[in-house]
Amino acid sequence: MPTLSEALVYLNGEFSPLGEAKISVMDRGFLLGDAVYEVIPVFSGVPFRLAHHLNRLNNSLKAIKIPEPLEQKSWISIIEKLCAQFTDENQSIYLQVTRGISPTRDHVFPQDAKPTVFIMAKPVDMDTLPDPYQGVSAITIDDIRWRYCYIKATTLLANVLAKQSALEQDASEAILIRDGNALEGAASNLFIVKDNNIITPPKSENLLPGITRDVILELANNHDLVVTESNISLDELGNADEIWLTSSVKEVVPVVTLDNQPVADGHPGEQWKKMKLLYEDFKKSLSPQPSH
């Protein structure tokens, strides 16, 4: 099996080892953060909700007026080829599209730029991930991001600073507060539970339409759990029975400490335990069945 630096990555039509892949310093992704991305988990060797991720990618591209650089079937075959390098069942795919290279640094779109497309896969050792049954700590923080948070843009400075603030306060995630409402984490979506009702903020320009968020809503609806999409005020967050964070990387994790205070009794809640099992069962149901 290749090391990460030997592993092949896809860059603009070519496959080369990660350690050798290079882009121009005039790439607008580098100079201006003029780019969008996706992070796609792979479970049991199968990219999870790939069509949904590619659909969100196309929405992000459309929103920033970058033409779709590849067709669906090309994305899929490149991703399959990259994953096939590793025997690991669990992997993570990172995919980025920038507007391409400008002859000079200029904010205005260059004429006829060709988007830069970069994709890499890396194995994920689930045993090294923090045990979700321990729960995580989070802080609340003012949301200083721009207004188009539904676009999965690489321009992540506000998210980076929020997450770093969390780390510096011994927490692993920062929950972003705008106009008195809790919207999402710096790299995750937000759910609370109050009186057995699962609540998540509705999709809007203010948050990323998370693929994991959709899975949680589907699982809740399919298993007769009460779920509502409505705003969560800072007060409601503080008085929640449970707080969960969801993402392709974290899946669904319970927050047990918020701003140094225990969430309810400071342990993962019953609704989370139910959802965690539903999520695991759902993942299992998607793994390829052995052929006879």
Nearest Cα neighbor of 204 from 216, 218, 189 is 189
Instruction: Give the per-residue contact string, 103-142, with ligand PDD (x = CB under 6 A; - = no).
Output: ----------------------------------------
Question: What is the Cα–Cα distance from 13 to 21, expressed in whole angstroms?
Answer: 12
Query: Which residue of 82, 121, 187, 237 would you call a contact of ligand PDD, by CB under 6 A?
Result: 187
Q: How many CA atoms lie within 13 A of 77 on its CB side?
A: 7
Nearest to 258 by CA among 160, 180, 173: 173
Stretch that binds ligand PDD, among 9-17, 70-78, 182-190, 221-229 (CB under 6 A): 182-190
Q: Give yes or no for residue 60 binding ligand PDD (CB under 6 A).
A: no
Backbone angles phi, psi at 274, to 5 degrees: -60, -50
Owner of token pair 């695991």: 280
Pairing of strands 261-262, 232-233: unpaired
| Smallest distance from ligand PDD to CB 58, Å | 14
The answer to whether residue 249 forms part of the interface with ligand PDD (CB under 6 A) is: yes
- Catalytic site includes residue 250: no
| Closest C-alpha among 38, 269, 271, 268 to residue 151 | 38
The CA distance from 125 to 91, in Å, is: 8
How many residues bind ligand PDD (CB under 6 A)? The answer is: 15
210 binds ligand PDD (CB under 6 A): yes
Rounded to a whole number of angstroms, the minimum distance from the CB of residue 215 to ligand PDD is 8
Choice from 137, 140, 200, 212 touching ligand PDD (CB under 6 A): 212
In whole angstroms, give the CA distance from residue 69 to residue 222. 36
Do 167 and 141 touch, CB atoms closer than 8 A?
no
Per CB under 6 A, 243 contacts ligand PDD = no
Structure tokens of 177?
A: 């507060």
> Looking at 22, 152, 163, 283, which residue is catalytic?
152
Which of 113, 208, 255, 263 binds ligand PDD (CB under 6 A)? It is 208
Stretch that binds ligand PDD, among 5-13, 107-115, 181-189, 233-241 (CB under 6 A): 181-189
Instruction: Give contact residues for ligand PDD (rule: CB under 6 A).
Output: 39, 159, 184, 187-189, 208, 210-213, 246-249
| Catalytic annotation, residues | 152
